[in-house]
Copies of this chain bind each other. A is one copy, B any other.
């Protein structure tokens, strides 16, 4: 499948590298078409890897992974434009973390709204699927590295077919065994409000290599 990945940080690289390893044709998008981190990534992985602008990544992909910092999410999508996003499966991994008052961060939106909902509201033609925002980048694409994959992931979004496409990547591709479908994109509030506890657990446990399992 042709897939675009917006973001050159730990999350973007982790997702893009895994997708290439799975045989997908991946274009990593950045602000500039000649971004050095994207060039380094595209040169280092063996497989169908290329780089371009955020808009190029969107043009390239049937599915577009949004892996930028939450504070940049809407600006990045604005540079892509509503036309390119119309009809596309947009996988939203962002968290609205606000570090402006130091650690631990607060959320720039929460409680009666979420970044996932804001993205869907701003681009009504996009088929937004929120997932993978609840854990560390390494574990996102390699859940089996922790407790043989015996832990949980969540997914939500208004478009059932888009969710099914992403679910296949998560389960058959990344190896997730327990992905809980919470419903529509408004459920993103719950997923993003998990972050304040995640961040505190990171501090307490001294490592980001943990996840929650929903025991039922």
Q: Does A214 contact B (CB under 8 A)?
A: yes
Q: Does A191 contact B (CB under 8 A)?
A: yes
B-binding segment of A62-70, A159-167, A193-201: A193-201
* Beyond A182-B201, A190-B201, 16 extra complex contacts between A and B, CB < 8 Å: A106-B111, A106-B112, A110-B111, A110-B193, A151-B215, A154-B197, A180-B204, A181-B204, A182-B200, A187-B200, A191-B197, A193-B194, A201-B214, A210-B215, A213-B213, A213-B215
* Complexed CA–CA distance, A76 and B153 (Å): 39
**Chain B residues in 8 Å Cβ range of A207:** 216
**Chain B residues in 8 Å Cβ range of A146:** 215-216
Q: Does A75 contact B (CB under 8 A)?
A: no
Q: Which residues of A, 62-94, contact B by the 8 Å Cβ criterion?
A: none
* Complexed CA–CA distance, A210 and B205 (Å): 23
Q: Does A211 contact B (CB under 8 A)?
A: yes
Q: Does A107 contact B (CB under 8 A)?
A: yes
Q: Does A209 contact B (CB under 8 A)?
A: yes
Chain B min CB distance to A203 (Å): 8
**Chain B residues in 8 Å Cβ range of A154:** 197
A213: contacting residue among B101, B112, B212, CB under 8 A: B212
10 nearest A-B pairs in the assembled complex, by CB-CB distance: A190-B197, A210-B216, A190-B200, A213-B213, A190-B196, A151-B215, A212-B212, A193-B196, A193-B193, A147-B215
Known: A213-B212, A215-B146, A215-B210. A190 touches B199 (CB 8 A): yes
Known: A209-B216, A212-B215, A213-B213. A189 touches B180 (CB 8 A): no
Contact, CB under 8 Å: B181 / A189: no
**Chain B residues in 8 Å Cβ range of A214:** 201, 205, 210-212
**A108's closest neighbor in chain B, by CB?**
B111
* Complexed CA–CA distance, A211 and B205 (Å): 19
**A149's closest neighbor in chain B, by CB?**
B215
Contact, CB under 8 Å: A150 / B209: no
Q: Does A183 contact B (CB under 8 A)?
A: yes
